[in-house]
Structure 1
Amino acid sequence: MAHSALLVMDVQRAITDRFTVDAGYLSRVRDAIDAARAADIPVVHVVIGFRAGHPEVSPRNKTFGALARGGGFAAGDPGAQIHPDVAPAPGDVVVTKKRVSAFAGSDLDMVLRARGVDSLVLTGIATSGVVLSTLRQAADLDFGLTVLADGCLDSDPEVHRVLTGKVFPRQADVVTVKEWVTSIAH
């Protein structure tokens, strides 16, 4: 029997503020979190975070180089906080990553293996960023994968559609939050 964990990735204030978050997005993610807790499935929040001055960011990195110049996601940055609608509860693990994938520069794999987790349920912002990168790396690490399609968000709806409809199903089960919640409630 699979031992799953729900990953809630990059649902941080500065990220949700940059996206057009549909009215139901955060409540759907909250529903997934509540269902996971009720089913004793660990909830792991994955955040992007850097040290003051961003010493871990290369100026050659297009994505994070610009972020470092702006000072974002360093200690004390209010934008780095997890959105309060999906905030961690006591017992939830918060993992800090240094790149796009939830595994890059973090201790996520160690946390999951220590808990006997062999299957991941993915949610997060953005579908074409953290979700895609984490899915690919998790598949290479032999985790079973489920993506909650409406628990992911992307600035480009067409990219989201292609990834969740055509790319992700090659390596993961792709379902809605409601379908997943129903499946674990039994």
Structure 2
Amino acid sequence: MPDLDPATTALLTVECQNGVVGEESALPELAKEARDSGMLARVAALVDAARGAGVQVVHAVAERRPDGRAANTNARLFRAAGRLPVRQLTGSSAVEVAAPLTVAEQDLVVRRLHGLSPMAGTDLDALLRNLGVRTLVVTGVSSNIAIPNTVFDAVNLGYQVVVPSDAIAGVPASCTAEVIRNSLALVATVTTAEALLTQWAPAR
């Protein structure tokens, strides 16, 4: 396990927002998996424990302008998202962090208007470097697309990456295990939410 010194570690939640994993999700199958598997509750527990241990919490949110200006259209996923009944529009409830997660005053919220990863074309890397972060714990959705993109981008930027395997989700559920085994485990340290909670517990 990489060094999880609170001074150099951040916990990142990826797309844990109402319009993705909330009750009125644009992606109900993914939202159901995130909730029924207990993933969202585990991420919420990790967020609370991280704060208690002095670990910086960052929420990465995907959104788009109501007019769609500057949004990607170069993949089926982006074009389909523009036709969904629930859209991740700036300023709407869909782009608010979903319960049971909370956003505390000391948390950072990083929003992106394009792409597949919160690490690309946003302030995230600069903010983490300004904080002295060297290890990034990645949680959230989805293991199909955004999580692998985030992990690869973070590794390419020189971060040590930790992935709690039961604090990410995708569809079908079997996809998550395959992505972890065949991709993420090759570049990141794979652990569990419980192991991180135990490590952070003394400081809580």
TM-score when normalising by structure 1: 0.92
Q: CA deviation at 1:181?
A: 1.3
Residue in structure 2 matching 1:6, options 3, 11, 22: 11
Residue in structure 2 matching 1:51, options 65, 84, 90: 65
| Amino acid of the structure 2 residue aligned with 1:47 | V
In 1, Cα distance between equivalents of 2:79 and 2:151: 24
Any runs of at least 4 consecutive aligned residues in structure 1 with deviations exceeding 4 A, and if so which? none
Q: CA RMSD in A?
A: 1.7
| Number of equivalences | 186
Stretch of structure 1 that moved more, 159-168 or 53-62 = 53-62
Change (3 A) 1:33 1:58: closer
In 1, Cα distance between equivalents of 2:180 and 2:37: 20
Instruction: Map Cα deviations across residues 128-185 of structure 1 (whole Å, 9 max, x no partner).
Output: 2211000011111110010011110111122101112232111111111001111233
Matched residues, percent identical? 27
In 2, Cα distance between equivalents of 1:59 and 1:155: 23
TM-score when normalising by structure 2: 0.85
Match of 1:136 in 2: 152
Q: CA deviation at 1:45?
A: 0.1
Residue 85 (structure 2) pairs with residue 90 (structure 1): no
Residue in structure 2 matching 1:78, options 81, 93, 113: 93
Structure 2: state its 5+ residue gaps: none
Instruction: Map Cα deviations across residues 38-70 of structure 1 (whole Å, 9 max, x no partner).
Output: 110000000001222111124333212222344
Change (3 A) 1:23 1:58: closer
In 2, Cα distance between equivalents of 1:60 and 1:27: 34
Residue 157 (structure 2) pairs with residue 152 (structure 1): no
In 1, Cα distance between equivalents of 2:158 and 2:39: 29
Match of 2:50 in 1: 36
Conserved 8 A contact 1:57-1:68:
no
| 3-state SS in 2 of match to 1:99 | coil
Conserved 8 A contact 1:4-1:120:
yes
Q: CA deviation at 1:28?
A: 0.8
Q: CA deviation at 1:78?
A: 2.1
In 1, Cα distance between equivalents of 2:145 and 2:74: 18
Conserved 8 A contact 1:153-1:160:
yes
Q: CA deviation at 1:79?
A: 1.7
